[in-house]
Amino acid sequence: MTAVSMFAQTPLLTEQIVAPVVSWPAMIPLAVMALGGLLLLTFASLLGRRVGTPFFTWWTVMTGLIAFATAIPLWAQVQGWDRRVLWWNPENTPAGAFSTVGGAFGVDGFSVLLTMLICLAVPVCALVMAGTSERDGERHVEGPALMILSATGAIVMAGANDLIVLFLGLEVLSLAVYVLAAMNLRRVQSQEAGLKYFVLGAFSSAFFLYGIALVYGGTGSTSLVNITNFLAGNLLLGSSSVLVLLGVALMVAGLAFKVAAVPFHSWSPDVYDGAPTSSVAFMASVVKVAAFAGMVRVLVVGFGTFAADWRPVLQILAVLSLVGGALVALVQTNVKRLLAYSSISHAGFILLGVEAANETGNRAVLVYLVVYTFLVIGSFAVVSIVGRSGDAMHSLDSYRGLGRVAPALAGTFTILLLAQAGVPFTSGFYAKFYAVIAAVDTQSAWLAVVAMLSAVIAAYLYLRLVVAMWFVAPGEQTPKPGIRIPATTGVALVLCVAVTLFIGITPGPLTSVVDEAPPAVVQPPAAQGSELPADLLNLLDGGAGQESLTTDPGSLPSTSGGNP
Amino acid sequence: METTTVEYVVFGLCALIVLAGAFGVIWFRNPVQAALSLVATLFGVAVLFLNMNAQFLAAVQVIVYTGAIVVLILFVIMLLGVDVEEDLEEEPLVGQRVIALVIAAGVAGLVVAGVTVAGADLVSGARAVTGSIVDDVSNVEQIGRLLFTDYVFALEITAVLLTIAVIAAVVMSRRPGDVEPLPTEDASMEPPAEMEPEAEEVFD
Amino acid sequence: MRSIDAGYLVLAAILFSIGAFGLLVRRNPLVMLMCVELMLNAVNLTFVAFGMMLGDLAGQVTVLFVLVVAAAEVVVGLGIVVAMARRRPGATADDIRVLRG
C-alpha cells in the first residue's frame, strides 16, 4: 500500500457526488422534534422574562402533538392505506416499509408506532414537569427543550437501520437525560444521580460501541441492511463467527444497562431516587421505550440468524430482572426506589417478548411498552405531587393515610398501582398476559411460570402501598389535607388513567394496531444517476438493487391470535 | 499486503507508549499526572492511525483529543484544585476491585482468545461494502465524500448531539445561587439541607 | 490477516480493559472520565484496524462520529462534575456513593 500524505498533491475524484435518496416525509417527525427543541430555546432566550413555564409547556405539548400528527401519514404509507391521507406524491415510494437516506433510517410499522408513542409521551412528561416547576417556582426552559431533543434521539433509535445511527441516537437520548437527572440545582443528590448515571452510562455506551466495532469486523459493515444481507448469504460457523458473537454479546450488555435489566441495574434505584421526579418520569418511559426499540432492531431484525445464541442470554436477563426486581422492591422504604425496582421487574416482562423473537413476542413488546409508558409517567406524576415542594418527601410514610387526606390523588395512584400489578380491567393485565403468552409460545413454559410468580410477588408490593394509603391513619409525613395538585399534572394524571382504563377494558384497538407493526429492515432504493465507480458508490451493492429484502420476525409458528 | 519493518517498529513503540499511558491514567493519584498520561496514550493512538494509513484521523485525533478534550479536562482540574489526591489504598466497596478485574480481564481475554483462535478466519466480513480505500486519492477527500453521502444522516444527528452538549454546559454552569429559593407554602417542610452555597466564593 | 493486524486488535482489547478496570476502581470523577476516553480510543483503534483489514473506509468515518460523541460526553461529564464540586468543595472523592443504601 502506498501511503499518501494528507498534504501531497493527489488527483481529486472528479466524479459528481451523488446524494442519497431522501424521503422527506419520513424525516418530518424527526425534524419537527429537533426544530421544536431548537426554536423553543431560541424563543426563550429572545423573549427572556416575558415567557415562562406555561409557554414552554404549551410549546412542548404542541411539538409532540405535531410530530405525532406527521407520523400518521407514515403509518398510512407503511400500511398501504388509501393514498388520500398522504400529502406527498406517493409514486416514488411504494406502499409498505421502506428505508431512506441511503438506508440509514428505516420506516416500518414498528418504528412508526414507537415514534408515535414517544411523541405522545413527551407532552405528558412536559405536563408533569410543568407542575413541579410551577410549584417550586422554577422557570427553566432547559427541561422541556432537553426532553424534546432527547426524544429526537429516541425516534432515531426506533428507526435506526445502521448501528452507528443507533449509537448516535442512543447518545443523543442519554446525554440529554444525564443533564435532566442532574438538573435540580437545589438538591446535591440530583447532581450525584446525574454523575452516577453519566459515568455508568458512558461505561455501557463504550461496551455497546465496542460491540459495534467487532460486528463491523465480522460482517464488513455497520448497516443492518448489509449485515442481514451478509448473514443471509454467508454461513458463519465456528471460528469465523467469533467476532459477530462477541460483538452481539457486548451490544446486549450495553442495551441491558439502558433498560436496567439485572445484573446491569445497579444505577437505576440511585438515579431514580436522586433525580428530579419529573425527569424520572421521562427517564423511565421514553428511555426504556427507545432502548427496547434498539434491542429489537439489533437482535431480532439484525441478528435474527443468531437467535439461538442470544436467546439464552436474554432468558437469563429476563429471569433475573423479574425475580430480582420484585424481591428487592419488597424491602424498599422509599417510593421512588420501590418504583425503580418495580420498573426493573417490568423490564423483565418486556425482555420475555424480545426473547420470543416472533410475532407474538413483538406484540408483547409493543403492548407492554405502550401500556407501561403511561403507567409509569402517571405513577411518577403522583410521586412528584406527594414529594411536595423541594421534591424531597418520598418515604413510604408520606403515603400513609393519603386516601383520607387526598382521595382523588390516592384513587388515581391506586388505579395505576393495580394496573402495574396486572389486575384485570386495567391495561397492565393485558401487558403481562401477552408477555406470558410470548413465553409460552416459544416453548419456554418455565419462563412463563417465573413471570407469573414474580407478578404475584410484585402484586404484594403494590398492594402494600395501596393498603398504606387507604387503611392506615395519616402520619406526620403525610401531606396536609388540601395538598395542591397542579393543574398540568392533574391533566397528565387524567390522561394516564384514561389510557390505562381504556386499554384495560377494550384492548382490541391496541392489539390490532400492534399486530400491523412488525419491525423490518428494507433495502434502500438505488440512488439515481449513479455515475460513481462502484467502489465509491456504496451501500447499494450487496446485491438486490430495487428489490426489497424484508426480514420479519416470524420464523416460529404463532399459536395465539386475536384478543383473549 | 507486505508488512515492512518500519511498520513493526512503529507499532511496537507506539503500543508501549499507549499501554504505559493507560496504566498511568489508572495508576497516578494526582489527576494532573493522569491527564498527562492520557495525552501519551492519545498521541500513541494518533501515530498508530498514521501507521494504518488513516492520516486525517491522526490529525483529528491530535487536534480534538489532545488539543481540546484533554485541555478541557485539565482546565477543570485546575478549577477544582489540584491538591485533591484520592486514597487508592482503601477499597471503597468490598470486592469491587476483584469484580472490576474479572470484567476487564474477561473482555480482553475473550477478544484476544477470539483473535488467536480464529486466526485467518477472523475477519470474515464482506470486503469494502461501504467504500473501498482508494490508494492514490487523498484520505480526506474520500472521508469527506462518504460523510456527505452515506453518512449524511448520522452527520445530521451529531448536530443535535452537539446542541445538547451546549445546553448541558449552560445548565450545569449555573450557580446554586442563581436558583430562586424555594417558596415555602408547606410549613411542615424543612428546608433542604444542601442549600448552603459555600463553594461559590471559590469560583467568583 | 497479517500478524500486525492481530497486534492492533489485541492492543485495543487490552487498552479497553484497562479503561474499564480504571473506571470501576477509581473514584475521582475526572479520572473516570479519562478512563472512558481510554475505552473509546480502544474502540477507535479497533474500527480503523478492521477498516484496514477490510479495505473499507467506513471504519475511519465511524471514528469521526465517535470523536464527536467523546467530545460531547466530556462536556456533559465535566459540566456535572463542576456543578457538583460547587455544591461541595473537594467533592472529587466518592460522593456518588452518598446515594447508596
Q: What is the ipTM of this complex?
A: 0.92
Spatial contact of A203 and C17, defined as CB atoms under 8 Å apart: no
The tally of domains found in chain B comes to 2
pLDDT digits (tens, 9 = 90+) for B9-44: 999 999 999 999 999 999 888 889 999 999 999 999
Residue A252 covered by a domain: yes
* pLDDT the model gives residue A526: 60
Residues of chain B in contact with residue C95, where contact means CB-CB under 8 angstroms, are: none
Cis status, amide bond into A94, omega within 30 of 0: no
How far is residue B55 from each of residues A7, A145, B46, measured CA to CA in Å? 10, 38, 9
C71, part of any domain: yes
Give the C-alpha distances (Å, rounded to integers) separating A17 from A153, A533, B130. Answer: 28, 11, 15
Condensed to tens digits (0 to 9), the pLDDT of residues A446-458 reads: 899 999 999 999 9
Cell of B134: 482508494
Is the Cβ pair B145, A17 closer than 8 Å?
A: yes
Across A64-84, average pLDDT: 84
A156 has a pLDDT exceeding 70 = yes
**How many structural domains does chain A have?**
1
- The percent of residues above 90 in pLDDT, for chain B, comes to 34
Domain that holds residue C59: 3-94
**Per-residue pLDDT for A171 more than 50?**
yes
Q: Quick count: other Cβ atoms within 10 Å of Cβ A292? A: 26
Mean per-residue pLDDT for C22-39? 90
Average pLDDT over residues A271-288: 92
Position C101 in a domain: no
- pLDDT category of residue B157 using cuts at 50, 70 and 90: very high
Could you count the other beta carbons within 10 Å of the beta carbon of residue A506?
11
Residue C66 has pLDDT above 70, yes or no: yes
- Identify the pLDDT of residue A442: 84
Inform me whether the pLDDT recorded for A552 exceeds 60.
no
Q: Which residues contact A501 (CB under 8 A, 6 or more apart)?
A: A415, A425, A426, A427
Residue B95: CB atoms within 10 Å: 9
In a domain, A523, yes or no: no
| Contacting B residues, span 72-101, partner chain C, CB-CB under 8 Å | 72-73, 76-77, 79-81, 84, 86, 88, 92, 96-97, 99-101
Minimal CA separation from A179 to chain C, in Å: 7
Residues in chain B: 204
- Predicted confidence at residue B194, as pLDDT, reads 42
| Domain contains A249 | yes
For all residues of chain B together, what is the average pLDDT? 78
Residue with cell 438486490: A544
Residue A497 lies in a domain: yes
Mean pLDDT in chain A? 84
Domain of B30, in residue numbers = 1-85
Cβ contact (<8 Å) for B171 and C79? yes
Task: In whole angstroms, give the CA distance from residue B172 to residue B168.
Answer: 6
pLDDT band of A558, cuts 50, 70, 90:
very low
State the cell numbers at B66.
489532545
Q: How much is the pLDDT for A233?
A: 78
C-chain residues near B49 (CB < 8 A) = 48
Mean local confidence (pLDDT), A150-175: 94
β partners of residue A106: A99
Continuous segment of H or E residues that includes residue B171: helix B152-172
Q: What is the pLDDT of residues A411-440, one digit of tens each?
A: 999 999 999 999 988 999 999 999 999 988
B2/B79 same-domain check: yes
Helix (H) or strand (E) holding A204: helix A188-219
Q: How many domains does the structure of chain C reveal? A: 1
Q: Answer whether residue C13 shows pLDDT above 90.
A: yes
**Which of A175, A227, A477 to mutate to test binding with chain B, by most B CBs within 10 Å of its CB?**
A175
Contact (CB<8Å) B152/A186: no
Res A38: pLDDT: 93
C30 found inside a domain: yes
The grid cell for A459 is 402484586
pLDDT higher than threshold 60 for residue C100:
no
Closest Cα to residue C44, out of C68, C73, C20, C80? Answer: C68
3-state SS record for A391-455: CCCCEHHHHCCHHHHCHHHHHHHHHHHHHHHCCCCCHHHHHHHHHHHHHHHCCCHHHHHHHHHHH
Q: Are B131 and A540 in contact (CB under 8 A)?
A: no
Mean pLDDT within A144-151 = 94
Is the Cβ of A220 closer than 8 Å to some Cβ of chain C?
Answer: yes
Q: Mean pLDDT lowest for which of A335-339, A361-365, B89-93, C51-55?
A: B89-93
C91 pLDDT above the threshold of 70: no
CA A548/CA A304 separation, integer angstroms: 18
Sort strands A105-107 and A98-100 into parallel, antiparallel or unpaired: antiparallel
User: What is the structure's pLDDT at A294?
Assistant: 94
Q: How many residues are present in chain C?
A: 101
Chain A residues with beta carbon closer than 8 angstroms to that of C19: 206
B202 in a domain, yes or no? no
DSSP class of C90:
T
The residue type at B155: L
Where does residue A542 fall: left (phi above 0), alpha (psi -120 to 50 degrees), or beta otherwise? left
Whether residue A199 has pLDDT greater than 60: yes
Tell me which of B14, B53, B65 to substitute to probe the interface with C (most C C-beta atoms closer than 10 Å).
B65
Q: What is the pLDDT, as a whole number, of residue A239? A: 66
pLDDT of amino acid A564? 30
Q: Roughly how many angstroms between the first and final C-alpha of chain B, as a whole number?
A: 60
Contact A102, A160 (CB under 8 A): no
Contact A195 C84 (CB under 8 A): yes
- pLDDT value at position A214? 92
- Alpha-carbon distances, residue A35 vs A21, A30, A67, A148 (angstroms): 22, 8, 11, 9
Q: What is the mean pLDDT of chain C?
A: 84
- Taking the model in full, what pTM does it have? 0.89
Instruction: Say yes or no for a CB contact (<8 Å) between B191 and A390.
Output: yes
Q: A19–B153: do the CB atoms touch at under 8 Å?
A: no
List pLDDT tens digits, range B173-187: 877 666 655 655 444
Q: Which of B59, B117, B180 is nearest residue A6 as measured by Cβ atoms? A: B59
Across the interface, whether the CB atoms of A168 and B127 are under 8 A apart is answered no
Lowest-pLDDT range of A2-6, A120-124, B146-150, C84-88: A2-6
How far is residue B136's CA from residue A3's CA, in Å, rounded to a whole number?
Answer: 8
Quick check: C96 contacting B, CB < 8 Å? no
Locate the chain B residue with the closest alpha carbon to C49. B52
In a domain, B92, yes or no: no
Q: Residue A347 carries which side chain, given as an amino acid letter?
A: A
Give the mean pLDDT of C67-83. Answer: 92
Q: Report the helix count and the strand count for chain C, using DSSP H and E.
A: 3, 0
User: With an 8 Å Cβ cutoff, are C53 and B130 in contact?
Assistant: no
- Within a domain: C35: yes
Q: Which of A257-261, B165-169, B175-179, C15-19 has the lowest mean pLDDT?
A: B175-179
Is C53 a domain residue? yes
Q: What percent of chain A is predicted at pLDDT more than 70?
A: 87
For residue B189, the distance in angstroms to the closest alpha carbon of chain C comes to 21
A:C CB pairs within 8 Å? 110
Q: Does B33 reside within a domain?
A: yes
> Residue B119: its chain C contacts at CB < 8 A?
1
- DSSP run (H or E) holding A120: helix A109-135
With 0-12 / 13-18 / 19 or more C-beta atoms within 10 angstroms meaning exposed / middle / buried, residue B32 is middle
Q: How does residue A1 score in pLDDT terms, banded at 50, 70 and 90?
A: very low
pLDDT of amino acid A4: 47
**A502: domain range?**
24-515
Query: Residue C36 maps to which CATH number?
Result: 1.10.287.3510
- In this structure, is residue C100 part of a structural domain? no
DSSP A518-538: -----PPPPPSS--S-HHHHG
Residue A540 lies in a domain: no
Residue B146 near chain C (CB below 8 Å): yes
For residue B105, being part of any structural domain is answered with: no
Percent of chain C clearing pLDDT 90 (strictly above): 53
Q: Averaged over A489-500, what is the pLDDT?
A: 94
Determine the 3-state secondary structure of A99 from DSSP.
Answer: strand
Q: Each residue of B117-136: b (16+ CB within 10 Å) or e?
A: ebeebbbbbbebbbbbbbee
